[in-house]
Amino acid sequence: MGNIGDFLPLILIFAVAYFFMIRPQIKRQKDEKKFASELKKGDRIITKSGLHGKILELNDKDYSCIIETMAGRLKFDRSAISMEMSKKLNAPAKK
């Protein structure tokens, strides 16, 4: 039983690291993947680089989308769309 007691602090460190670092990252990746798959034509979005636009076309073949901006039409990979900023953009205004 003494050998297990020696490894108990190390096991606790891994458990804490899993629940506070690894697990939330996995959940965030799942949420981002779900967000990208639920995008539809007409959605207003913001890319991770800060470009604002509206989705014109979605291509499931190469997982890209064409967005319309004030500068014209641009093709982006769906993973370049920011989930947090796009949700804030589309959230109803609070009074």
- What is the reported pLDDT for 3? 79
Given pLDDT bands bounded at 50, 70 and 90, which one contains residue 87? confident
pLDDT in tens, 1-48: 557 778 888 899 999 999 899 999 999 999 999 998 888 999 999 999
Q: What is the pLDDT of residue 2?
A: 59
* CB contact set of 18 (below 8 Å; sequence gap of 6+): none
The lowest-confidence range among 32-36, 50-54, 89-93 is 89-93
CATH classification for the domain delimited by 40-95, as one of 2.30.30.140, 3.90.1150.10, 3.90.1310.10, 3.40.50.2000: 2.30.30.140
CA–CA separation, 45 and 38 (whole Å):
12
Domain locations in the chain as residue ranges: 1-38, 40-95
User: Stretch 45-67: mean pLDDT, rounded?
Assistant: 92
pLDDT tens readout for residues 64-83: 999 999 989 999 999 899 98
pLDDT score recorded for residue 95: 58
pTM for this structure?
0.71
